[in-house]
Amino acid sequence: MTAADDDDTARADIGIVCALPLEAQEFMKRCERVRSYTGGDFVFKGGRYDGIRIVLVESGTGQARARRAVQALDDAHHPKWILSCGFAGALQAGVKVGQILVPNRFVTPEQPEIHVEVSMPHQPNRGLHVGSLLTVEHIVHTVAEKKTLGEQFQSVGVDMESYTIAEYCKSQHKRFFAVRVFSDDMSADLPKEVLSLMGPTGAVRMGAVLGALWNRPSSAQDMWKLREQAISASEHLANFLDGVVKQLHAAQ
């Protein structure tokens, strides 16, 4: 790295794409000199983590938005690594909330698989899974559907963005890595209200929240539990990224 590169604040060492602000908020709290700005439809946050230049873009949910967000991130900041980070739903029994998935295989219906070399060991007894991640276009909220998808695609987890980010990085010859933390498991269905509460940008639709509470007052308890799980998952993701970011930066 040259001195000129180090002084170029527009460039990033690590670029992170996440769908929701909550997913990476705990990690960004550990960064210094964090600044936010809006570019097009997306919120960007930049800072320094132990001297490593980090830029994060909040894509919103779904592959279409993720594709535009990762391209905007790459065009604006030219990161040396691009990471897909955030929540995932478990598709296999025994996977627990807060455990980590490092995908080495990305699948989505009707598209070819994408394989990524991962040097980390598969250690499920220590809460680290290395395996396949399925990307779909909807929230998978029932245990029955999770079981079906897990068997059909032989995947450990499911999300709504990672495949298209991996595909973009492959096409652009960008260094790519994904880390997903499980925010829900196979023990119970997600509250049905979660399907209507989340807007495409990741913002909570207040009208839907009020409607859910009116139609089913007990949904408040379910949604509060889900929020607590999400906050805990975000902390586990931040702890894992502590080491990953340093290792990736050292490998440049």
**Cα separation of 184 and 95, whole Å?**
9
Question: Is residue 116 over pLDDT 50?
Answer: yes
Question: Is residue 210 over pLDDT 60?
Answer: no
pLDDT confidence of residue 3: 41
Residue 252 burial by Cβ neighbours in a 10 Å radius (0-12, 13-18, 19+): exposed
pLDDT confidence of residue 251: 86
Name the DSSP letter for residue 125.
Answer: G
pLDDT confidence of residue 141: 87
Residue 226 — pLDDT band, cuts 50, 70, 90?
confident
Cα 143 to Cα 34, 90, 114, 164, 185: the distances in Å are: 39, 9, 26, 25, 8
Most confident of 15-24, 97-106, 188-197: 97-106
User: What is the rounded average pLDDT of the residues 98-117?
Assistant: 97
Which CATH number does the domain 3-250 belong to among 3.40.50.2030, 3.40.50.1580, 3.30.360.10, 3.40.50.10330? 3.40.50.1580
**Cα separation of 84 and 82, whole Å?**
7
Question: Is residue 61 over pLDDT 60?
Answer: yes
Query: What is the full DSSP assignment across 44-109?
Result: EEEEEETTEEEEEEE--SSHHHHHHHHHHHHHHH--SEEEEEEEEEE-STT--TT-EEEEEEEE-T
CA nearest neighbour of 116 among 168, 59, 62: 168
Question: Is residue 201 over pLDDT 80?
Answer: no
**Domain boundaries in the chain?**
3-250
Sequence length of the chain is 252
User: What is the rounded average pLDDT of the residues 96-107?
Assistant: 97
pLDDT for 163-172, tens place per residue? 999 999 999 9
Question: Is residue 42 over pLDDT 90?
Answer: yes
Q: Is the pTM of this model over 0.85?
A: yes
Residue 197 — pLDDT band, cuts 50, 70, 90?
very low
